[in-house]
Amino acid sequence: MKHVIIGGSAAGMSCAETLRRLDPKCDITVISDEARPFYSRCLTSYYIAGKIGERDMLLRDPGFYEARRLNLVMGKKAVLVDPRKKAVVLDDGSEIPYDRLLLATGGRPKLPDIPGAGKRGVFTLRTWDDAVAISERAKTARKAVVVGGGLIGMKVAGALRDAGLEVRVVVASGRVLSQMLDDEAAAIARRLLEAHGFAVDTRCDVVEIEGDDEVRQVRLQDGRRVDADLVVIGKGVDPEVGLAEACGARVGRGIIVDEHLKTSVPDIYAAGDAAEAYDIAWGEPRVNAMWTAATSQGQVAAHNMAGIPTRYPGSVGMNSIDICGVPFISMGVVSPRRDRDGDGLVELARRRAGNWYRKVVLKDRVICGAVFAGVVDKAGVVLALIRARARRDDAPERILADDFTYATFMDVIDEKGRYFQEGGKRNVQRIMQGGY
Amino acid sequence: MKEVFVRLARCVGCRQCEISCALVHSESRDIHQAVWERPLPRQRVRVTREGSEYYPLRCFHCEDAPCIGACISGAMHLDEDVGTVACDTARCVGCWMCVMVCPYGSVRIHEGQKVALKCDRCPDEDEPACVRGCPTRALLVKERALVV
């Protein structure tokens, strides 16, 4: 059996490793357009901050790939998938035949149409190479403007500040981290940022990047001009669906997959940031571009590719970020839109002194989302509740009062939790059966 | 593979396991000195009361651990020799993805060091400190296969 994987990051590599574990004999090829071995994309901002070095970026030892007999095709781009011939065509013209194919093509930073975005000193951040270029520039730059207040924007803003630059964040929406946080938590984040010396402009945009060859200034929507010698554009990521579309696979916002992570084209699967797979909290398919979802989708796809039918239980969109030393975690439905998401939605929130904030969102009395700021311990228990889709009427109050542990909810989590079917169930029994 | 089991009926909520755990993870390993250490030594096991029962909650060292899949730095890993989920704190960057996904709430933030804090099942001890410290023998070590 010849397995070919396009994409060498979280989804692609976890698929490759799982395939090898399941089938010691099959042929596995991983094609990556990046020339670097498997590294952690999520660490790029830590790299820019100078907190970690080159070695820390790599997730596997050099001998790892050989030991597992993975054929790596690096620094080459797959330009075409031919589902009739069952082959992948690379940019150098060569062809790689496949029996089963995984599209783990990831995402691509959105590039808004800002005049001057092509000048030197203007970057997006997706790859390690991007991070190297930004940190190189940051050695001499003094003033940075980050366009976009999403997760990437905030992480790169923090990193540049750690690297000693003055940082201004320009956010189009009314709050920072508008996808991840609700108004209240975003206000806490903003206060922290401003107290730590960041300039934050909301409901504002960069309309032009000025300078000769190199960026010198940016012009804001309200007419102000601010000095900048480094600009990072972080306006979100689009799923990379080009190859899927061209070979006739169904595509929505991402590559549409069924519960076995199969695309609409026979023998082609998709996983990771490019895939639109089932979301448990929303109850519908969504693109959840997260490391953890990519890893588990890669593993599930591998089982199905190896001929072991395995259902993908679905993911919950979630994220964790540290802002000026204060942790924030959010999961599932965070800011429901009443007009679209209908009745039966309840938001309950509590604020305590300092940066402590917590919210739970319920749909028909079942928890489908939560936000944590300040104290995030046990957030995973709430995630397990969301995944279990379990109704426990005392849950909101106990979560908001911080009066809960895993033991509080173990009956519902265990009974209904898809989460626990894969390996956790035995752990629960370890407590219960131990009572002899 | 050895495993720590809990006999719930025997746990009286004395929290001696918490003290033993914090102590074995202190610099001095002497309770009179350990209380003066900064950051304070932290326990990895927590006794919680639910209704009339006490639960000493600790890391279950899952076979298919969500925290390993979520870890962005490679710090959280499976120690294949002893079958534990271990955190290499030198590689931990403090992103708290592990805290976000642990269904048992067993990974916490070490506030003093800003790294993930979890049970390491005392790799240098003959017996985990929580087990050794439990006066009612509610916690005990057994071969996994013998019980499940």
**Mean pLDDT within A362-366:** 92
- Tell me what pLDDT residue A38 has: 96
Which of A252, A274, A305 represents a domain boundary (last residue)? A305
State whether A6 and A94 are in the same domain: yes
- Is a pLDDT exceeding 50 seen at residue A183? yes
CATH number for the domain that contains residue A407: 3.30.390.30
- Tell me what pLDDT residue B10 has: 86
State whether A93 and A11 are in the same domain: yes
Note whether A312 and A278 are within 8 A (CB).
yes
Give the model's confidence band at B8: pLDDT under 50 very low, under 70 low, under 90 confident, else very high: confident
Does A413 touch chain B if contact means CB atoms closer than 8 Å?
yes
DSSP codes joined into one string, A417-433: -GGGGGTHHHHHHHHHT
Kindly report the length of chain B.
Answer: 148
- Answer whether B64 sits within 8 Å of A383, measured CB to CB: no
User: Could you say which DSSP state residue A270 is in?
Assistant: E
State whether A202 and A246 are in the same domain: no
Minimum-distance CB partner of B102 among A43, A319, A380: A380
- Tell me what pLDDT residue A415 has: 36
**Mean pLDDT within A236-257:** 97
Give the model's confidence band at A180: pLDDT under 50 very low, under 70 low, under 90 confident, else very high: very high
Q: What sign for the dihedral angle of Cα A288, A292, A298, A303?
A: negative
Mean pLDDT of chain A: 92
Looking at the domain assignment, is residue A115 inside a domain? no
Mean pLDDT of chain B: 90
State whether A131 and A217 are in the same domain: yes
- Tell me what pLDDT residue A414 has: 57
Q: Most B CBs within 10 Å: which of A406, A411, A425, as the mutation test of the B interface?
A: A406
CATH number for the domain that contains residue A101: 3.50.50.60
Give the model's confidence band at A339: pLDDT under 50 very low, under 70 low, under 90 confident, else very high: low
- Domain around B1: 1-58+123-148
User: Could you say which DSSP state residue A133 is in?
Assistant: H
- Is a pLDDT exceeding 70 seen at residue A422? no
Note whether A294 and A315 are within 8 A (CB).
no
Note whether B47 and B53 are within 8 A (CB).
no
Please name the helix (run of DSSP H) or strand (run of DSSP E) that holds residue B20, with its range, or none: helix B16-24
User: Any idea which residue has 């997730």 for tokens?
Assistant: A59
- Domain around A405: 325-432
**Mean pLDDT within A195-201:** 98
Say how many CA atoms lie within 13 Å of B49 toward its Cβ. Answer: 6
- Tell me what pLDDT residue A429 has: 42
- Tell me what pLDDT residue B142 has: 77
- Tell me what pLDDT residue A69 has: 97
Looking at the domain assignment, is residue A384 inside a domain? yes
**Mean pLDDT within A45-65:** 94
Q: Most A CBs within 10 Å: which of B104, B106, B117, B143, as the mutation test of the A interface?
A: B104
**Mean pLDDT within A102-116:** 96
Is residue A401 packed enough to be buried (19+ CB in 10 Å), middle (13-18) or exposed (0-12)? exposed
- Tell me what pLDDT residue A430 has: 44
State whether B29 and B43 are in the same domain: yes
- Is a pLDDT exceeding 90 seen at residue A434? no
For chain B, how many structural domains are there in total?
Answer: 2
Does A367 touch chain B if contact means CB atoms closer than 8 Å?
no
Give the model's confidence band at A435: pLDDT under 50 very low, under 70 low, under 90 confident, else very high: very low
Does A54 touch chain B if contact means CB atoms closer than 8 Å?
no
Does A384 touch chain B if contact means CB atoms closer than 8 Å?
yes
State the pTM of this model: 0.93
Looking at the domain assignment, is residue A318 inside a domain? no
- Is a pLDDT exceeding 90 seen at residue A240? yes
More confident: A429 or A389: A389
- Is a pLDDT exceeding 60 seen at residue A212? yes
The fraction of chain A above a pLDDT of 70, given in percent, is: 94
Amino acid at the residue B112: G
- Answer whether B93 sits within 8 Å of A379, measured CB to CB: no
- The closest alpha carbon to B9, from B58, B45, B53, B57, belongs to B53
